[in-house]
Copies of this chain bind each other. A is one copy, B any other.
Amino acid sequence: MNPVELIRKKREGDTLTKEELEEFISRFVAGEIPDYQMSAFLMAVYFKGMNVEETATFTEVMLHSGDTVDLSMIPGIKVDKHSTGGVGDKVSLILAPMVAACGVPVPMISGRGLGHTGGTLDKLESIPGFRTNFSIADYKKIIAETGLVLIGQTKEIAPADKRMYALRDVTATVESIPLIAGSIMSEKLAEGIDALVLDVKTGNGAFMQQYDDSLALAKALVGIGNSMGKKTVGFITDMSQPLGCMIGNWLEVVESVECLRGKNVPDLMEVTYVLGGAMLRLGGKAGSIEEGMKQCKSAIYSGKAYEKFCQIVARQGGDVSFVEQPGKYQKTKHIIEVKSQAAGYVVGFNTMKMGLLGIELGAGRKKVDDVIDPAAGIVLTKKLGDKVVSGETVALIHTNRDKTVQPASAELSSCIHVADAAVVPPSLVQAYLDAEGVKPWLTPQLY
């Protein structure tokens, strides 16, 4: 294979064969194909895409570029969830212990904050002592003991994806559906799961803001998972406002703990129950998603989900006393109320800008080696559709950065749009996808 001819073929929009992709990627990982040829290839894929078979092959080649974890010694159907990322998306923190409490093993390998979105690892690590850097051997041990495990990516898994992702990040080739799909699925399929539930975000706080793009990505992800023998379903969920009310690492742990103790934050818990219900169905513990949702709700109200959370926090080195008494946690120097100038209803959020503002407050990184301030973030006291009186508090800023307080208050205020006439918020779970196709979704009421 001549790498130049392969790049040219993709540039012309032709379909690459399995042999071509295998040789190109394995020679890249071996250092025989230089970065400059891979980056030209990635840009050609950005413009010309990949068809369904190509994307599946691409994923499979990346998956087999490194180790794949064998969890067959763990009884039960292992199910994970992956979200494409949003603002205030702390679902994993509630979902993983809740589903594990219902008897489905949850092996979860998560990432750090990326762009304007937060990362599950950063949130977990805001709990004093909590560790996420375990070896594959420890990973297996923890899930065998507790029924779940929450760690970060390891070098052994999908090295082709890691090298390619680093290159995409510096060559403006991130925003490509086949490349995103191949990256997500090669990492997920390597972690030893039997089934996967996907949460593909849409709206102005998502990476794919347009519904059609989100749907295309969801189809690619679900298609790849099923074509590779893992039962995979997906939901398209709204990210036109932050999920729940808290944004920022420790703040999101606090909100998650409140929900694990039975607080109903409606949008957050709707997404969590729907995803959990689907995980239980795929995990063989429920005959339908609705039945699974009911079991999840029981696990919350019985306290079993919360207990499971405390168990995994302790097992991974975290100080459970902070979970039990969140008030112990050192608060930020500044906690500033942002008040509405206008009266009316909240009609929109600039969700992405709010995510980026969180980074300015200290909750995320601008460079890879920046240190996160775990206590920094934003608390919303109003959500889409809520009534607002002039001068009323709509949000709070938590930060230790003196100079950021004033500009951040003005910026946050500009992100929350108030108007005379109320709008109906978009429905939270907008579609369901499985191997058979896309179906409209109406979340069942749980009594």
- In the A-B complex, list the 3 residue pairs whose CB atoms are closest, starting with the nearest: A40-B171, A43-B43, A35-B36
**Residues in A15-51 with C-beta less than 8 Å from chain B:** 34-40, 42-44, 46-47
Shortest Cβ distance from A9 into B: residue? B172
Asked if residues B4 and A36 are in contact (CB atoms below 8 Å), the reply is no
When distances are taken between beta carbons in the complex, the residues of chain B under 8 Å from A69 are none
Whether A351 sits at the interface, judged by CB under 8 Å, is no
Instruction: Tell me the complex Cα distance, A248–B44, Å.
Output: 36
Oligomeric state, in number of copies? 2
Whether A3 sits at the interface, judged by CB under 8 Å, is yes
When distances are taken between beta carbons in the complex, the residues of chain B under 8 Å from A7 are 171-172
Whether A170 sits at the interface, judged by CB under 8 Å, is yes
Given A46-B11, A172-B4, A172-B11, A34:B37 Cβ within 8 A = no
Whether A431 sits at the interface, judged by CB under 8 Å, is no
Given A36-B39, A40-B40, A43-B44, A8:B167 Cβ within 8 A = no
Q: Of B34, B40, B167, which contacts A173 at CB under 8 A?
A: B40
Instruction: Tell me the complex Cα distance, A180–B413, Å.
Output: 50
Q: Pick the most buried of A35, A42, A43, A47: most chain B CB atoms within 10 A of its CB.
A: A43
Asked if residues A37 and B40 are in contact (CB atoms below 8 Å), the reply is no
Q: List 5 A-B contacts (CB under 8 A).
A: A4-B172, A8-B172, A36-B38, A40-B173, A44-B172
Q: How far is the CB of A111 from chain B (nearest CB, A)?
A: 19
Q: Of B37, B167, B173, which contacts A170 at CB under 8 A?
A: B37
Residue interface mask A156-177, B partner, CB < 8 A = 1 = 0000000000010111110000
When distances are taken between beta carbons in the complex, the residues of chain B under 8 Å from A44 are 43, 172
**Residues in A31-90 with C-beta less than 8 Å from chain B:** 34-40, 42-44, 46-47
Given A11-B46, A43-B11, A46-B11, A36:B171 Cβ within 8 A = yes
When distances are taken between beta carbons in the complex, the residues of chain B under 8 Å from A8 are 172
Instruction: Tell me the complex Cα distance, A178–B39, Å.
Output: 20
